[in-house]
Copies of this chain bind each other. A is one copy, B any other.
Amino acid sequence: MLIIGENINASSKRVAEAIGRRDALFLQEMAHKQVSAGANYLDVNAGRGRGTEQEIEDLKWAIETVQAATDVPLAIDSSDPQAIRAALAHYSGKAAMINSVNAEDDRLRALLPLTLEHQADVIALAMGDGGVPRDVEGRLRACDRIMERAAAYGVPLERIFLDPLVLPLSVDTDEGLVTLRTLEQIKARYPQAKTTLGLSNVSYGLPLRGTINRALLLMAMYLGLDSVILDPIDARLMAHIRAAQVVLGRDPFCKSYLKDYRRGTIKE
């Protein structure tokens, strides 16, 4: 189970301000904390809504700053393919992750060749032009489209992390099962591909959000979820992930679980 740390994201006001004032220590501390809590990737999003050129400059700086502090690979996160392209050219080290494509032609055309050029992995959202499909079939059609295009470009299928997506349960209580069934179908249809999930949307508008997030995550782990985008500093969430690995027989002798417990990165 790969943990993608979500904290370095300019949609957070504190992060956007730190990027604005070029506060390297702020970003580097955030990077360190996530890595020592167990992050295998760090997501970096520098989109402050000030146009492509500013975002490219911000993103390059943020990547350089984070890479000076840690050698875990980064997930380069932008809604702007140009920013991702520029950032990848600036990136060095272990294979990056592109966050993200979806089934839209323009995005696929812009970003799939970059996965080859930079040997990068890519997160692919199960949606197209028309927004997030409400049903399992619609999301699978988006995945089919992505996988067809990836195959056409010659992208190795194991570089694709398909995200079944999740909408808030507060809006419609069918959303949990739509996500889980889409995930189950993706695993069956594309056994070579990987999967990922951005968790926190599911609990939007409900109390005890962490509990809802954990409930979804543990069921997704049972279905074989390969990676997840979350806040790794959340020691209770990380404890449930490590516990799930034990329950699923993926942690021989509970070695990782006991190590994390002794290090204090997981708690009840």
Contact = CB atoms under 8 A, between A and B. Distances in A.
A268 B173 contact: no
B208 A247 contact: no
B246 A212 contact: yes
Interface in A155-202: 169-170, 173-174, 176-177, 180, 202
Interface string A214-251: 11101101110000000000001001100110111101
A116 B166 CA distance: 46
B208 A248 contact: no
Contacts of A176: 246-249
A258 interface: yes
Contacts of A257: 206
A23 B225 CA distance: 51
A261 to B, nearest CB: 5
- Each complex incorporates copies of this chain amounting to 2
Contact of A268 (B210, B218, B249, B267): B210
A9 B176 CA distance: 36
Contacts of A244: 215, 219
A70 interface: no
B202 A219 contact: no
A223 B222 CA distance: 10
Given A180-B222, A218-B218, A243 B173 contact: no
A173 B208 contact: no
A207 interface: yes
The 6 closest A-B pairs by CB, nearest first: A176-B247, A215-B243, A218-B218, A219-B222, A211-B243, A215-B244
Interface of A: 169-170, 173-174, 176-177, 180, 202, 206-208, 210-212, 214-216, 218-219, 221-223, 236, 239-240, 243-244, 246-249, 251-254, 257-258, 261, 266-268
7 contacts: A169-B247, A170-B254, A176-B246, A180-B247, A208-B243, A211-B268, A222-B222
